């Protein structure tokens, strides 16, 4: 059954590294070789054979793939020993086949997955010699058709310890030897055959399954010779099967027996010895851990502590024991050992476990750092593969700028300020006068302020948490009775008046015999105002012919929403003001979000301004002025 391998054995090993950064492999491996994590992943582009007498060592973290239904034929010695932090991954389409000559091979801290034939198996060569079973411990078999097939192992025995079988069509299968399965979890077998363990043997040989969790296939419905959706399926007779103390997912003997097809169902088969039945699952499931920082996150250079979380598997029963953390400067390639930077990876035990932390030194601004975490539970289970996150040290605080807002004297008692920072993603804190800083966004409109001197401060906080130490500031004075005159370059249109008497303006004595309504200058119609990016625009009124109290109400001149129901005008805003004779009033209006969206969608809209002026005697003028409102330049 071997290799029809004469051609393969005769071919020299070919290894190439294409632009994709994987290493392509074909042919025969001769002599001693090491496949390194740096050159990983290794991709089989043809069947590959490790020749007799040769030795191949896979470094921790190495990944081996195949480009199709290919196999890695092991006739020499394969050492595939990863670590809890850096397990090996073997995803070979037709699996790893161990032949005579592969004595001393070992697989540990590895994942064997995605084989459409056998994950690992022993094979018969052209001289009718079977291969030895490799040492298998701390291995995860996942998503294979046959996870393992120990077929007449040369040494007469085979074992699997501290391993898990997940989502395989057949989990455990073997024949022709003494087999030991210890501390193994078989779960979630969901494919066609749905058999957790397929047991066969010769007379006088034996199976021993201990301290293990053998769970029924996920799609279990029945278990028989014709429909082997079984937890255990037994083939042949004359050999003992000791499965005492196994957890079957239940303590109900009827359910357990229904999921086992053995001599109790067919006298020509061996019987599985189950008593005593375990009362609860064994803790065979590793915990997990992770830093709180997300991949690529920025942290303050003086952060001082790296923190994170960890949890035991929900099926675990013993709880967390500790979390180990390594911290590497990716620019220098050195690891922090708690006292100094060193040349080899140093895992340090963190404070606490579920919510852990570990100290780190001051970080170099702009350097990237790697965090790796590894959790352990009290049963001795270790996280399968470290969690890795890269962070960026940021020791430079952001700078804040105020882009717009009043300065000097303003008649706006609820002024609006727009601001920005020189770092993307920064947040802001604002305050008015001596109030404490509080979170805010740009633009920020203040609460109603009293007449008098005020100050507005804003500071940026970058994503690392650095705070601008010198907040941007604006000093201004609110005076609702005094108004800023227009500049010579102003493009804001004037509005106008007169009309009929009404109640006297507050704070002024009426003038006896005054029946003349106030008025203001009327500019040419159809002026256009450009809105600011902060959603505000300025509207200029005046100068009036006498002291007045006024109000202006804005709404869209065009009706909208006519496709359903009644069309209507959208309210833009209302502003009240006081104006002295001969002085211009500048009213700043903040556009509602819906109106601003309408302006941007149509490029411009017509706006109606309904203006009311009242003099101290109570004479009132009401007029309407229409102007264009244009979207800001992008």
43 shares its domain with 186? no
Share in percent of the chain as helix, strand, coil (round to 5): 5, 45, 50
Asked if pLDDT for residue 238 goes beyond 70, the answer is yes
Helix (H, G, I), strand (E, B) or coil at 536: strand
pLDDT (0 to 100) of residue 624? 78
Whether the Cβ atoms of residue 450 and residue 479 lie closer than 8 Å to each other: no
Its sign, for the CA torsion 311, 314, 320, 324, is negative
Helix (H) or strand (E) holding 599: helix 593-602
Do 499 and 575 share a domain, yes or no?
yes
Expressed in angstroms, the distance from the first to the final Cα of the chain is 73
More confident residue, 557 or 421: 421
Rounded to an integer, what distance in angstroms lies between the CA atom of residue 508 and that of residue 521?
Answer: 23
Total number of domains in the chain: 5
Q: Which pLDDT score, from 0 to 100, does residue 301 have?
A: 94
- Percentage above 90 pLDDT, the chain: 59
Range in 29-43, 69-83, 317-331, 522-536 the model is least confident about: 522-536
Query: Quick one: pLDDT band at residue 220, thresholds 50, 70, 90?
Result: low
Give the model's pLDDT for residue 198.
82
**Do 176 and 200 fall into the same domain?**
yes
Residues 462 and 405 in one domain: yes
Local confidence band at 501 (pLDDT 50, 70, 90 cut-offs): very low
pLDDT at 130 over 80: yes
pLDDT at 536 over 90: no
437 in the same domain as 373: no
User: Are 497 and 542 part of one and the same domain?
Assistant: yes
Q: Give the pLDDT confidence of 241-287 residue by residue, as tens digits.
A: 999 999 998 999 998 998 898 999 999 999 999 999 999 999 999 99
pLDDT of residue 541: 78
pTM of the entire predicted model? 0.69
Report the helix count and the strand count for the chain, using DSSP H and E: 3, 49
Secondary structure class of 517 (helix, strand, coil) = coil
Tally of CB atoms within 10 A around 282: 20
Q: What pLDDT is attached to residue 9? A: 37
SS3 494: coil
From CA 134, how far away is CA 76, in angstroms rounded? 12
The Cβ of residue 560 has, within 10 Å, a number of other Cβ atoms equal to 15
**Residue where a domain stops, chosen among 457, 478, 499:** 478
- Please identify, among 228, 261, 282, the residue that sits at the C-terminal boundary of a domain: 282
pLDDT at 507: 43
Q: Say if residue 225 is in the same domain as residue 256.
A: yes
Based on the domain organization, do 349 and 459 belong to the same domain? no
Which of 71-80, 107-116, 262-271 shows the lowest per-residue confidence on average (mean pLDDT)? Answer: 262-271
629 and 547, same structural domain?
Answer: yes
Model pLDDT, residue 597: 78
**Using omega within 30 degrees of 0 as the cis cutoff, is the peptide bond preceding 7 cis?**
no
Highest-confidence segment of 14-23, 247-256, 389-398: 389-398
Average confidence score pLDDT of the chain: 85
Whether residue 168 contacts residue 160, with contact meaning beta carbons closer than 8 Å, is answered with: no
| Cβ atoms 199, 232 nearer than 8 A | yes
The larger pLDDT score, comparing residue 464 to residue 583, is at 464
Same domain (yes/no): 147, 192: no
Pairing of strands 585-590, 604-614: unpaired
**How much is the average pLDDT of 18-28?**
80
Flag whether pLDDT at 491 surpasses 50.
Answer: no
Lowest mean pLDDT among 49-53, 106-110, 151-155, 483-487: 483-487
> What is the band of 63 on the pLDDT scale with cuts at 50, 70, 90?
very high
Confidence of residue 224 (pLDDT cuts 50, 70, 90): confident
User: Which pLDDT value is given to residue 287?
Assistant: 96
Which residues have CB under 8 Å from 300's CB, separation 6+? 393, 394, 395, 464, 465, 466
Q: Residue 428's pLDDT is what?
A: 98
Tokens describing residue 411: 């008649």
561 pLDDT more than 70: no
* Domain membership of residue 222 as a residue range: 158-282
* Per-residue pLDDT at 326: 97
* Residues 87 and 57 placed together within one structural domain of the fold: yes
Asked if 175 and 197 touch (Cβ cutoff 8 Å), the reply is no
What pLDDT is attached to residue 547? 82
Task: Identify the CATH number of the domain in which residue 370 sits.
Answer: 2.60.40.650
Mean pLDDT of 419-447: 95
Q: Residue 79 in 3-state DSSP?
A: strand
Range in 476-480, 500-504, 606-610, 628-632 with the lowest mean pLDDT: 500-504
Where is the domain boundary, 282, 308, 334? 282
pLDDT surpassing 70 at residue 2:
no
Q: In CATH, what number is assigned to the domain containing residue 460?
A: 2.60.40.10
Higher-pLDDT residue of 213, 220: 213
Same domain, 601 and 499: yes
The pLDDT, as a whole number, for residue 528 is 78
**Distance in angstroms (rounded) separating the CA atoms of residues 513 and 500:** 14
* pLDDT over threshold 60, residue 505: no
Q: pLDDT class for 509, splitting at 50, 70, 90?
A: very low
Q: Higher-confidence residue: 577 or 331?
A: 331
């Amino acid at each position: 059954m071997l290799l029809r391998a004469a051609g393969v054995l005769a071919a020299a090993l070919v290894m190439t590294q294409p632009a994709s950064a994987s290493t392509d492999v074909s042919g025969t491996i001769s002599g001693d070789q090491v496949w390194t994590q740096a050159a990983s992943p290794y991709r089989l582009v043809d069947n590959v054979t490790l020749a007799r007498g040769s030795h191949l060592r896979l470094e921790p973290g190495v990944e081996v793939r195949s480009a199709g239904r290919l196999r890695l034929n092991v006739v020499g010695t394969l050492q595939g020993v990863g670590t809890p932090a850096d397990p090996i991954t073997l995803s070979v389409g037709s699996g790893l086949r161990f032949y005579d000559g592969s004595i001393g091979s070992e697989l540990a801290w590895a994942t064997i997955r995605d084989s459409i034939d056998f994950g690992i198996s022993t094979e018969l060569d052209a001289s009718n010699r079977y291969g030895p079973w490799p040492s298998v411990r701390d291995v995860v078999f996942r998503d294979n058709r046959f996870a393992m097939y120990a077929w007449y192992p040369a040494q007469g025995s085979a074992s699997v310890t501290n391993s898990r079988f997940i989502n395989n069509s057949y989990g455990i299968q073997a024949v022709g030897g003494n087999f030991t399965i210890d501390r193994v979890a078989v779960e979630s077998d969901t494919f066609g055959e749905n058999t957790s363990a397929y047991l066969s043997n010769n007379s006088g040989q034996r199976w021993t399954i201990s301290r293990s969790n053998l769970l029924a296939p996920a799609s279990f419905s029945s278990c028989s010779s014709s429909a082997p959706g079984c937890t255990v399926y037994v083939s042949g007779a004359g050999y003992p099967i000791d499965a005492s103390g196994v957890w079957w997912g239940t303590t109900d003997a009827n359910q357990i027996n229904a999921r086992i097809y053995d001599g109790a169902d067919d006298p020509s088969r061996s019987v599985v010895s189950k008593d005593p039945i375990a009362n609860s699952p064994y803790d065979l499931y590793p915990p997990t851990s992770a830093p709180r920082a997300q991949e690529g996150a920025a942290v303050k250079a003086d952060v001082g502590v790296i923190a994170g979380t960890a949890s035991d598997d929900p099926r675990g029963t013993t709880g967390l024991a500790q979390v180990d953390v390594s911290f590497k400067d990716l620019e220098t390639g050195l690891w922090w050992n708690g006292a100094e930077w060193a040349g080899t990876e140093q895992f340090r035990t963190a404070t606490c476990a579920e919510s852990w932390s570990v100290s780190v030194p001051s970080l170099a601004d702009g350097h990237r750092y790697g965090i790796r975490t590894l959790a352990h539970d009290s049963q001795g289970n270790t996280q399968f593969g470290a969690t890795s996150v890269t962070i960026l040290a940021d020791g430079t605080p952001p700078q804040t700028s105020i882009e717009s807002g009043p300065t000097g004297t303003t008649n706006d008692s609820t002024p609006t300020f727009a601001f920005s920072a020189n770092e993307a993603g920064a947040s802001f804190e604002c305050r008015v006068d001596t109030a404490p800083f509080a979170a805010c966004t740009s633009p920020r409109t203040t609460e109603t302020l009293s007449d008098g001197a005020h100050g507005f401060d804003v500071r940026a906080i970058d994503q690392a948490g650095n705070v601008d130490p010198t907040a941007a500031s604006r000093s201004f004075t609110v005076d609702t009775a005094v108004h800023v005159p227009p500049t010579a370059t102003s493009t804001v249109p004037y509005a106008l008046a007169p009309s009929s008497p009404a109640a006297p303006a507050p704070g002024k004595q009426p003038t006896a015999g005054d029946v003349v309504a106030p008025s203001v200058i009327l500019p040419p119609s159809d002026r256009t105002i450009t809105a600011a990016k902060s959603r505000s625009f300025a509207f200029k009124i005046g100068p009036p012919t006498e002291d007045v109290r006024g109000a202006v109400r804005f709404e869209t001149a065009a009706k909208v929403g006519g496709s359903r129901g009644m069309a209507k005008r959208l309210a833009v805003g209302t502003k009240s003001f006081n104006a002295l004779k001969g002085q211009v009033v500048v009213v700043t209006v903040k556009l509602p979000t819906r109106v601003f969206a309408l302006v941007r969608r149509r490029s411009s809209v017509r706006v109606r301004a309904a203006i009311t002026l009242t003099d101290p005697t109570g004479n009132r003028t009401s007029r309407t002025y229409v102007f264009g409102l244009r979207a800001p330049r992008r």
